[in-house]
């Protein structure tokens, strides 16, 4: 069984998120989503519309997602990979030219998936705020 892990806030769940989750699931047999907690989002300077529990329920309803775990801090990735026996860690392509996650290559395969063109949570918030 090939286990895939990805991270994110997944606020205002939209077709870009679904597309990312679908492509991540296609890389393996079992998809784990580490969902940023409200406290962790606050540390990152992000504010989600939906609280953690609501976002978790929404992700659990997506057929591509097998397990949702909390992302509480940046440093937990190696523990997550080891605990859940992860084969592939998926990050958004916006991190591709950064060396921020290169250390994960020592523990599993690291893949970057392109974001879906024309949609993002930031764009939705901006457009809703302009009315």
| 46 given a catalytic annotation | yes
Q: How far apart are CA 86 and CA 71, in angstroms?
A: 15
Which is the catalytic residue, given 44, 72, 85, 96?
A: 44
| 44 given a catalytic annotation | yes
Which is the catalytic residue, given 22, 46, 111, 125?
A: 46
Non-local (6+) Cβ contacts of 115 within 8 A are 16, 20, 92, 93, 94
CA atoms within 13 A on the CB side of 6: 28
Torsion sign, CA atoms 48, 54, 60, 64 = negative
Q: Which residues are catalytic?
A: 44, 46
């Amino acid at each position: 069984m090939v286990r895939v892990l990805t991270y994110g806030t997944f606020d205002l769940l939209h077709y870009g998120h679904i597309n990312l989750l679908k492509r991540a699931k296609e890389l393996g047999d079992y998809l784990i989503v580490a969902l940023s907690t409200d406290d962790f989002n606050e540390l990152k300077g992000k504010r989600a519309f939906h609280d953690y529990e609501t976002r978790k329920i929404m992700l659990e309803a997506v057929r591509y997602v097998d397990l949702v775990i909390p992302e509480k801090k940046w440093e937990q990735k190696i523990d997550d990979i080891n605990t859940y026996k992860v084969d592939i860690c998926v990050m958004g392509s916006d991190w591709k030219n950064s060396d921020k996650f290169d250390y994960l290559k020592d523990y599993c395969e690291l893949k970057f998936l392109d974001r879906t063109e024309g949609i993002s949570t930031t764009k939705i918030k901006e457009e809703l705020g302009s009315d």
